[in-house]
Amino acid sequence: MNMNTTFEDKLCTIFIEGSIDTLTAPELEKAVNDAAPQCDKIILDMSKVDYISSGGLRVVVGANHTVGKDNLILRGLSANVMEIFRLTGFTKYLNIE
């Protein structure tokens, strides 16, 4: 997994590429936790994420809890990743564009 975070005023965008799995989920968690104090809103650009495991789901749900549903946006989910969020029922609780 590769990540790049951009900061624009109080908006942070974390661009993620690859798989979010048990090994890489802690990296995403650290990126979100590092960005949260500096940002009013965080966008997780997942347009290049091809897979997310339960560990990745845990990090996303935890980030949603930390920064709040209105302040965390998931953007660009592929059909496969969106299906995982849908099957788990998390689409009801997450802000997905």
Label residue 58 by pLDDT band (50, 70, 90): very high
Q: What contacts 42, CB < 8 A, 6 or more positions away?
A: 12, 13, 14, 32, 35, 36, 63, 67, 71, 72, 73
3-class DSSP state for residue 17? strand
Asked if residue 16 lies in contact with residue 47, where contact means CB atoms within 8 angstroms, the answer is no
Kindly list the domain boundaries of the chain, sorted by start residue: 2-96
Question: Residue 73 is inside which H or E element, if any?
Answer: strand 72-75
- Higher pLDDT, residue 68 or 42: 42
Of all residues in the chain, what percent carry a pLDDT higher than 90?
95
The rounded distance, in Å, linking the Cα atoms of 55 and 77 is: 17
Q: Report yes or no on whether pTM surpasses 0.85.
A: yes
The predicted pLDDT at position 69 comes to 85
Q: What contacts 29, CB < 8 A, 6 or more positions away?
A: 59, 62, 63
Choose which CATH entry (3.30.750.24, 3.40.190.10, 3.20.20.150, 3.30.70.270) describes domain 2-96: 3.30.750.24
Q: Quick one: tokens of 83?
A: 């299906």
Label residue 2 by pLDDT band (50, 70, 90): very high
Mean pLDDT, all residues of the chain: 95
